């Protein structure tokens, strides 16, 4: 959580347009991270819609996947904020 707070504080003073553009660039520069986020969303849907609980592992897998998505998004946001601060 401290990283999220730091990113939020860092990004709050940055121009929104530049930050949004840099966020798009980061996704393009890190296609595997972007794809992982998409795939994790799909995996969560599949887990939640499954007629079984995967031997009791479904809930933990969904939680871990949601956490992974959050961490990957924060990583991209951090990079976008750094690029924005540097004027890229």
Domain boundaries defined on the chain: 32-88
The counts of H helices and E strands in the chain are: 4, 0
How many residues belong to the chain?
88
pLDDT in tens, 47-81: 999 999 999 999 999 999 999 999 999 999 998 88
Q: Specify the pTM.
A: 0.73
Residue 26 to residue 11: CA distance in whole angstroms: 15
Using alpha carbons, select from 77, 68, 27 the residue that is nearest to residue 44. 68
DSSP code of 88?
-
Residue 34 to residue 84: CA distance in whole angstroms: 19
pLDDT in tens, 25-41: 888 899 999 999 999 99
């Amino acid at each position: 959580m401290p990283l999220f707070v730091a990113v939020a504080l860092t990004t709050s003073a940055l121009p929104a347009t530049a930050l949004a553009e840099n966020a798009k660039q980061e996704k393009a520069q890190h296609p595997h991270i972007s794809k992982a986020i998409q795939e994790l969303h799909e995996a969560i849907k599949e887990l939640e819609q499954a007629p079984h609980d995967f031997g009791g592992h479904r809930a933990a897998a969904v939680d871990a996947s949601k956490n992974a998505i959050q961490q990957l998004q924060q990583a991209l946001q951090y990079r976008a904020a750094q690029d924005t601060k540097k004027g890229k």
